[in-house]
Homo-oligomer: A and B are copies of this chain.
């Protein structure tokens, strides 16, 4: 069983983000580390498949289907960019083991929103969150993509 370091897993998520960019999708990639040496990887497919096809949701749905709820509860989700409230809500419902993300997302990022909700006694299920892993690389991909669009 090969166990990868967080930075190595995030590099795979960044590869996924680059694949998204090549498909003219907002470059966000996600990798679920199931902790047993297996990974489930995916990237944003919102243009091709519809506005709910975020990298995180694609990966979570596949993991729930293929590995089951218990395995997802032990897994850590790596995402290149701060997840939105839809994907964070999905992580709460799926009782994800943990979250690691790269760059903050000022418009749709939902980490602060979820924290505020917890303070108000909502969304009582919490999981460890680590922000900023390979932030510069993830942010640069987003900047290049939106720069190209202009």
Chain A residues engaging chain B, CB cutoff 8 angstroms: 46, 50-52, 54, 57, 60-61, 64-65, 69, 84-90, 92-95, 106-110, 112-114, 116-117, 120-124
Name the one of B50, B65, B86, B95 contacting A89, with C-beta atoms under 8 angstroms.
B86
Please name all residues of chain B whose beta carbon is closer than 8 Å to the beta carbon of A113 when the two chains form the complex.
85, 113, 116-117, 122
Nearest CB in chain B: distance from A108 CB, A:
7
Please name all residues of chain B whose beta carbon is closer than 8 Å to the beta carbon of A86 when the two chains form the complex.
85-90, 92-93
- Docked-complex contact A85 and B57, CB < 8 angstroms: no
Please name all residues of chain B whose beta carbon is closer than 8 Å to the beta carbon of A89 when the two chains form the complex.
84-89, 110
Nearest CB in chain B: distance from A28 CB, A:
13
CA distance in complex: A93, B65 (Å) = 24
Please name all residues of chain B whose beta carbon is closer than 8 Å to the beta carbon of A84 when the two chains form the complex.
89, 93
Query: What are 19 A-B interface contacts by the 8 Å CB criterion?
Result: A52-B57, A52-B64, A54-B93, A84-B93, A85-B85, A85-B86, A85-B88, A85-B89, A86-B86, A86-B88, A86-B89, A86-B90, A86-B93, A89-B89, A107-B121, A107-B123, A110-B122, A113-B117, A116-B116
- Docked-complex contact A123 and B95, CB < 8 angstroms: no
Please name all residues of chain B whose beta carbon is closer than 8 Å to the beta carbon of A61 when the two chains form the complex.
50, 52
- Docked-complex contact A85 and B117, CB < 8 angstroms: yes
Nearest CB in chain B: distance from A42 CB, A:
14
